[in-house]
């Protein structure tokens, strides 16, 4: 398999060497993608960057005068708290999903073959299920006259319904629930690829199980964790649906701030500044991350 | 030793069961309540299909479903064509600025969806384009191009380009070679790209939320506005139906993948 792969790649290399002067053809094939992404992706982003640095008229229009006031406003304690909350919730979500997913993925990878496909399918289904529906499922359980409160009251544990929904805890629960499948799959793939003979070798050479885990298993499966972190941390940072549905107005994150500035308060300049900061956090984070893990090709 | 092993196995099984319970219990509750006769309470008062009947009579949901399908199919077709062309160019040719373009191509995947949503909204307002289904479709094509390119390109690694040369040596022209050799061989990769694009489009709420006009609600937008209104058995019923479709598709996809692997194993050995 590997040799065939190598040969194909060499073949491709050979073809491309011969046809190097046909770079023009490559650009013709890429032209629709250039145009579409240039016009409907890059240009809109540049508009947002532009708005974030321009002064706002009382009517909400941008006038081409450079200002940093929208960025300065993000340091206002009211908004700084939202940024800080987004950051720690995203970090907490990432750490909790790693802790929950790793042992699960490990056990899944070691499951006897006849069960494995079924269990794998069961792990993949939530991955494909709409975020809105998965968030709503928790609303059904946590709302004031929901399943949990009704059960606790009928058991006599509590007299009045607890306000479980619209709290930071509910948002964290929603985030962990929403993103757990995104952490399980890449870690599972990494553990599945792990060569069992390496673990046997480690044991034969006298390592205790925990030593083997820390010094062989964990380093070799780190790329899986790294890929999972990308799939969880980045979208959790910009998450808008879960805090909106499970946090209400009380627990808003950067995503809710941006949405509110664009659709509610209609201060596009300030909303743009928040968008640029979010984008910068993601891109700088990814760069550092790639350097740290020396990853290539994963986004 | 064996006692300890089996102990570990039991612990591992119990832990897996707990995680599956965490993943599926909320969904199970959601599905169960779609059949509960009581509209307001969490107490079970009897089995009913009323909420499903109400759902089928709801014109807005049918309209939203058809909007989603139109946007999904159109955006998947266009982005599959554009993305496949780009994947070909990136796989086959080396040219100046290739690395920069590849990095650029990954941006729509990593940029938070909400930023892409507000940016497109700002763009449409600036060029004074009225919002409608076309604006959602344009936006979905934009983010789908990147995903299709990545998926198709991954499949191109196993494509043997010497077959093209052989066809041309035997007298086929460029078009004949493409349609009779290249396309049939890369078809599974292109189909995978199309399915990913279709799924992402049908699933998208955030970008549609910012780029759809008043009369062009997609299904996820409809679901969201019903959920914001509160927990009702009708939303449970709608969610259950969507889940059913997703589970069926996932199971069929898994079945196809397994079937194909089963066939390939003896060939390789």
Distance of CA B45 to the CA centre of its chain: 37
Domain positions in chain A are 82-293
> CA torsion B9→B14→B17→B19, rounded to 10°?
-100
Which of B9, B26, B29 has the highest number of chain A CBs within 10 A, making it the mutation to test binding with A? Answer: B26
Q: Indicate the residue of A47, A124, A143 with minimum beta-carbon distance to B250.
A: A124
In a domain, B262, yes or no: yes
Q: Is the pLDDT of residue A238 over 50?
A: yes
pLDDT digit string, tens, across residues B106-129 = 889 889 999 999 999 999 999 999
Residue B142 near residue B108, CB atoms below 8 Å: yes
Residue in B with minimal Cα distance to A41: B142
Residue B12 near residue A105, CB atoms below 8 Å: no
Residue in A with minimal Cα distance to B80: A33
Rg (CA), chain B: 24
If 0-12 CB within 10 Å is exposed, 13-18 middle and 19+ buried, where does residue A18 land? exposed
For all residues of chain A together, what is the average pLDDT? 85
In a domain, B171, yes or no: yes
In a domain, B31, yes or no: no
Residues of B within 8 A of A29 (CB-CB) are 85-86, 88-89
pLDDT digit string, tens, across residues A271-294 = 999 999 999 988 887 887 777 766
Task: Please tell us whether the domain made up of A82-293 is placed in CATH 1.10.3720.10.
Answer: yes
Average confidence (pLDDT) over A58-75? 89
d(CA A236, CA A224): 18
Residues of A within 8 A of B257 (CB-CB) are none
Q: Could A5 and B107 be called an inter-chain contact, meaning their C-beta atoms sit closer than 8 Å? A: no
Q: Hey, what are A106's tokens?
A: 């490990």
Average confidence (pLDDT) over A171-183? 94
Grade residue A124 by pLDDT with cuts at 50, 70 and 90: confident
Grade residue B258 by pLDDT with cuts at 50, 70 and 90: low
Residues of A within 8 A of B89 (CB-CB) are 25-27, 29-30
Question: Nearest-CA neighbor of A242 among B119, B113, B120?
Answer: B113
Q: Is the pLDDT of residue B95 over 70?
A: yes
Q: Is the pLDDT of residue B26 over 50?
A: yes
pLDDT at position B254: 65
Q: Is the pLDDT of residue B96 over 60?
A: yes
- Residue numbers of the domain that contains B123: 59-268
pLDDT at position B85: 93
Q: Indicate the residue of A23, A241, A299 with minimum beta-carbon distance to B93.
A: A23
Q: How big is the A-B interface in CB pairs under 8 Å?
A: 256
DSSP three-state, residue A144: coil
For all residues of chain B together, what is the average pLDDT? 86
pLDDT at position A4: 39
d(CA A156, CA A134): 29
Q: Hey, what are A205's tokens?
A: 């050479």
- Per-residue b or e along A129-153, where b marks 16 or more CB atoms closer than 10 Å to that residue's CB: bbbbbbbbbbbbbbbeebbbbbeeb
Grade residue B3 by pLDDT with cuts at 50, 70 and 90: low
d(CA B20, CA A150): 24
Residues of B within 8 A of A232 (CB-CB) are none
d(CA A234, CA A290): 13
B22: distance to nearest CA of chain A, Å?
Answer: 8
Q: Is the pLDDT of residue A6 over 50?
A: no
Of residues A151 and B41, more confidence is placed in A151
Q: Is the pLDDT of residue B48 over 70?
A: yes
Q: What is the number of domains present in chain B?
A: 1
d(CA B12, CA A288): 35
In a domain, B12, yes or no: no
Q: Could B42 and A147 be called an inter-chain contact, meaning their C-beta atoms sit closer than 8 Å? A: yes
Residue B142 near residue A41, CB atoms below 8 Å: yes
Average confidence (pLDDT) over B155-169? 83
Helix (H) / strand (E) containing A56:
strand A54-56
Residues of B within 8 A of A36 (CB-CB) are 82, 141-142, 145
Kindly state the DSSP code that residue B130 receives in the 8-state scheme: P
Question: Nearest-CA neighbor of B185 among B224, B219, B158, B223?
Answer: B158
Residue in B with minimal Cα distance to A298: B106
Q: Is the pLDDT of residue B260 over 70?
A: no
- Please list the helix, strand and coil fractions of chain A in percent, rounded to the nearest 5, in that order: 75, 5, 20
Residues of B within 8 A of A282 (CB-CB) are 110-112
d(CA B82, CA B85): 5
| Lowest mean pLDDT segment, chosen from A24-38, A119-133, A182-196 | A119-133
Q: Could A245 and B227 be called an inter-chain contact, meaning their C-beta atoms sit closer than 8 Å? A: yes
d(CA A137, CA A245): 11
Residues of A within 8 A of B120 (CB-CB) are 40, 44
Grade residue B67 by pLDDT with cuts at 50, 70 and 90: very high
Q: Could B113 and A104 be called an inter-chain contact, meaning their C-beta atoms sit closer than 8 Å? A: no
In a domain, B16, yes or no: no
As beta bridge partners, residue A62 has: A56
Q: Could A15 and B92 be called an inter-chain contact, meaning their C-beta atoms sit closer than 8 Å? A: yes
A188: distance to nearest CA of chain B, Å?
Answer: 13
pLDDT at position A268: 93
ipTM computed for the complex: 0.86
Grade residue B262 by pLDDT with cuts at 50, 70 and 90: very low
pLDDT at position A230: 85
Q: Could B27 and A37 be called an inter-chain contact, meaning their C-beta atoms sit closer than 8 Å? A: no
CATH number at residue B127: 1.10.3720.10
Parallel, antiparallel, or unpaired: how do β-strands A62-66 and A54-56 relate?
Answer: antiparallel
Helix (H) / strand (E) containing A64:
strand A62-66
């Amino acid at each position: 398999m590997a040799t065939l792969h190598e040969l194909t790649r060499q073949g491709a290399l050979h073809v491309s060497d011969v046809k190097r002067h046909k770079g023009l053809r490559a650009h013709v094939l890429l032209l629709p993608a250039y145009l579409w992404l240039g016009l409907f992706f890059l240009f809109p982003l540049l508009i947002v960057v532009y708005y974030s640095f321009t002064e706002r008229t009382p009517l909400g229009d941008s006038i081409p005068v450079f200002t940093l006031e929208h960025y300065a406003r993000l340091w206002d304690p009211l908004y700084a708290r939202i940024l800080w909350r987004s950051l720690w919730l995203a970090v907490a979500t990432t750490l909790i999903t790693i802790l929950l997913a790793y042992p699960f993925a490990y056990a899944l990878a070691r499951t006897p073959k006849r069960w494995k496909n079924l269990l794998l399918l069961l792990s993949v289904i939530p991955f494909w299920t709409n975020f809105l529906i998965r968030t709503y499922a928790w609303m059904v359980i946590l709302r004031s006259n929901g399943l949990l409160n009704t059960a606790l009251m009928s058991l006599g544990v509590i007299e009045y319904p607890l306000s479980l929904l619209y709290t930071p805890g509910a948002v964290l629960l929603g985030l962990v629930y929403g993103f757990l499948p995104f952490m399980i799959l890449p870690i599972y793939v990494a553990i599945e690829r792990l060569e069992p003979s390496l673990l046997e070798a480690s044991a034969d050479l006298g390592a205790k199980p925990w030593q083997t885990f820390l010094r062989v298993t964990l380093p070799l499966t780190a790329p899986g964790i790294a890929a999972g972190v990308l799939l969880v941390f980045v979208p959790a940072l910009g998450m808008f649906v879960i805090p909106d549905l499970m946090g209400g107005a009380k627990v808003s994150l950067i995503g809710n701030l941006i949405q509110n500035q664009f659709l509610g308060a209609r201060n596009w300049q300030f909303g743009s500044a928040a968008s640029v900061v979010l984008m910068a956090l993601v891109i700088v984070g990814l760069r550092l991350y790639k350097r740290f893990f020396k990853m290539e090709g994963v986004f | 030793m064996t006692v300890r092993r089996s102990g570990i196995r039991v612990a591992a099984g119990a832990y897996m069961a707990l995680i599956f319970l965490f993943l599926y219990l909320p969904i199970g509750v959601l599905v169960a309540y779609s059949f509960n006769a009581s509209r307001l309470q969490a107490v079970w008062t009897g089995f009913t299909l009323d909420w499903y009947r109400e759902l089928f009579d709801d014109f807005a949901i049918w309209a939203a479903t058809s909007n989603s399908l139109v946007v999904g199919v159109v955006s998947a077709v266009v982005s599959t064509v554009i993305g496949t062309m780009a994947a070909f160019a990136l796989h086959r040719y080396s040219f100046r600025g290739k690395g920069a373009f590849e990095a650029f191509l990954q941006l729509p995947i990593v940029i938070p969806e909400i930023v892409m949503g507000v940016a497109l909204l700002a763009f449409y307002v600036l060029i004074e384009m009225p919002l409608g289904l076309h604006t959602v479709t344009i936006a979905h094509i934009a983010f789908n191009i990147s995903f299709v390119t990545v998926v198709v390109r991954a499949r191109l690694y196993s494509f043997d380009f010497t077959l093209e040369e052989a066809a041309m040596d035997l007298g086929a022209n460029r078009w004949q070679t493409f349609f009779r050799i290249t396309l049939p061989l890369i078809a599974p990769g292109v189909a995978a790209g199309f399915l990913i694009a279709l799924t992402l489009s049908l699933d998208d709420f955030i970008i549609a939320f910012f780029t759809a006009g008043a009369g062009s609600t997609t299904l996820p937008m409809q679901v969201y506005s019903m959920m914001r209104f509160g927990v009702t058995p009708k939303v449970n019923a709608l969610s259950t139906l969507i889940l059913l479709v997703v589970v069926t598709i996932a199971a069929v996809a898994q079945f196809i993948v397994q079937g194909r692997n089963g066939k390939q194993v003896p060939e390789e050995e």
